[in-house]
């Protein structure tokens, strides 16, 4: 079957959907037929794939028929409605929404970390949250050598995490402010240009927002470490694209810096960037449009001998969403699971 897959992209007109199309055109996934699916209001549009214009069709039981693989990035409610229908029709679904991530029978996969979990799929495979993907790619090489005891994470999340409309809103707000006008808000509750605020996802009774709880629960599931101690503070910052994270990582024993640095320099999916003389480390601008998670500023925590500090940046739309989904598909093929 992998000699020529019939592939559907659900949410094809969104920021992640269009990124998936670009990545599919760049990589070697064997595609015999590509079907672009979206909501009825987007039907009739035309998108270009590898130089060929393709029509966008409204998602329905009929347009989901005959697919081998569906890459979904259209929101949790859409995934819950349509992916079971796609699976019943014979497709394997890779879902970028939060709909199925914490269900026990759904693998939650970062291919550099836990590709072996794909063998247990029952039709649906979940793509983790963007901040979780970036963090686990960076920390897994260390965790394999010396298990992690505790993680304290602070994220600096770009407008891209809220989609194409949020990115445009940031640009519009910057122009408004520079012209002396009040910034207009729609995608975000508060102005993001020249500003920052704690992540605007819903808060629970303990004061943690939904985004922070995703990092906690998803990392435990991916690492198969349900008792991993992890706390996160997620913040929206006025960056168009690519998220950043400051991580304090405590192990059960000291982790020599030279050993940790060597592991990260060789790790799959990681680009290690450090120039201490220039104070030059990963930056969102340089991570934008790139595949790796950029990691650097690795240092000893002066307050805790068993802890290291590191900084990372990664393209939220690319590795944090679209690329990870395509890599899951490639791993399914490599393992003979599709």
Q: Cβ distance 264 to 320 under 8 Å?
A: no
Q: State yes or no: is 243 an active-site residue.
A: yes
To the question of whether residue 14 is assigned a binding role by annotation, the answer is yes
Length of the chain, in residues: 338
Burial class (CB in 10 A: 0-12, 13-18, 19+), 325: buried
161 labelled ligand-binding? yes
Q: Is 90 annotated as a binding residue?
A: no
DSSP string, 166-178: HHHHHHHHHHHHH
Catalytic-role residue among 130, 143, 199, 313: 130
For residue 24, CA distances in Å to 17, 47, 323 come to 11, 13, 9
* Rounded-to-integer distance, Cα 115 and Cα 205, Å: 34
Matching residue, tokens 């595609």: 31
Distance of alpha carbon 4 from the chain centroid: 27
Would the annotation count 44 as a binding residue?
A: no
316 is annotated as contributing to ligand binding: yes
157 is in an annotated binding site: yes
What's the Rg (C-alpha) of the chain?
A: 20
Instruction: Determine if residue 160 is labeled as part of a ligand binding site.
Output: yes
Give yes or no: 234 in active site. no
Q: For 200-221, b where at least 16 C-beta lie within 10 A, e where not — what string?
A: bbeeeeeebbebbbbbbbbbbb
- To the question of whether residue 41 is assigned a binding role by annotation, the answer is yes
Catalytic pick among 143, 234, 243, 313: 243
The interaxial angle of helices 210-223 and 130-145, nearest 10 deg, is 40
Q: Is 113 annotated as a binding residue?
A: no
Instruction: Find out whether 150 is annotated in a ligand binding site.
Output: no
* CA 213 to the chain's CA centroid: 15
Numbered residues of the known binding site for phosphate: 101
Q: Which residues are annotated as a binding site for substrate?
A: 157, 236
Would you name the residues annotated as active-site residues? 130, 243
Tell me the binding residues for NADP(+).
13-16, 41-42, 160-161, 316
Bind-site residues? 13-16, 41-42, 101, 157, 160-161, 236, 316
């Amino acid at each position: 079957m992998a000699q020529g897959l019939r592939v559907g992209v659900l949410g094809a007109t969104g920021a992640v959907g269009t990124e998936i199309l670009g990545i599919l055109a760049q990589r070697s996934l064997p595609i015999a037929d590509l079907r672009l699916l979206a909501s009825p209001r987007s039907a009739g549009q035309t998108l270009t794939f590898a130089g060929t214009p393709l029509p966008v069709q409204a998602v329905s039981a009929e347009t989901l028929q005959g697919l081998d693989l569906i890459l979904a990035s259209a929101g949790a409610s859409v995934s819950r409605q349509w992916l079971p229908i796609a699976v019943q029709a014979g497709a394997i679904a890779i879902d970028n929404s939060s709909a199925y991530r914490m269900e026990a029978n759904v693998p939650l996969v970062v291919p550099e970390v836990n590709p072996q979990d794909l063998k247990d799929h029952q039709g649906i495979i979940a793509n983790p949250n963007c901040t979780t993907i970036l963090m686990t790619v960076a920390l897994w090489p260390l965790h394999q050598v010396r298990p992690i005891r505790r993680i304290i994470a602070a994220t600096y999340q770009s407008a891209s995490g809220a989609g194409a409309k949020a990115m445009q809103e940031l640009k519009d707000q910057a122009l408004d402010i520079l012209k002396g006008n009040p910034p207009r808000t729609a995608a975000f509750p508060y102005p993001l240009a020249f500003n920052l605020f704690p992540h605007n996802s819903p808060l629970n009774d303990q004061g943690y927002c939904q985004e922070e709880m995703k990092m906690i629960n998803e990392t435990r599931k991916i690492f198969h470490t349900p008792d991993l101690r992890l706390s996160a503070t997620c913040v929206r910052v006025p960056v168009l694209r690519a998220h950043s994270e400051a991580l304090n990582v405590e192990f059960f024993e000291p982790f020599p810096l030279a050993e940790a640095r060597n592991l990260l320099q060789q790790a799959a999916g990681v680009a290690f960037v450090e120039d201490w003389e220039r104070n030059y480390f990963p930056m969102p601008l340089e991570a934008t449009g790139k595949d790796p998670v950029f990691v650097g500023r690795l240092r000893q925590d002066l307050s805790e001998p068993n802890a290291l500090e590191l900084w990372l940046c990664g393209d939220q739309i690319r590795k944090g969403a679209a690329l990870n989904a395509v890599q899951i598909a490639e791993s399914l093929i490599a393992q003979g699971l599709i």
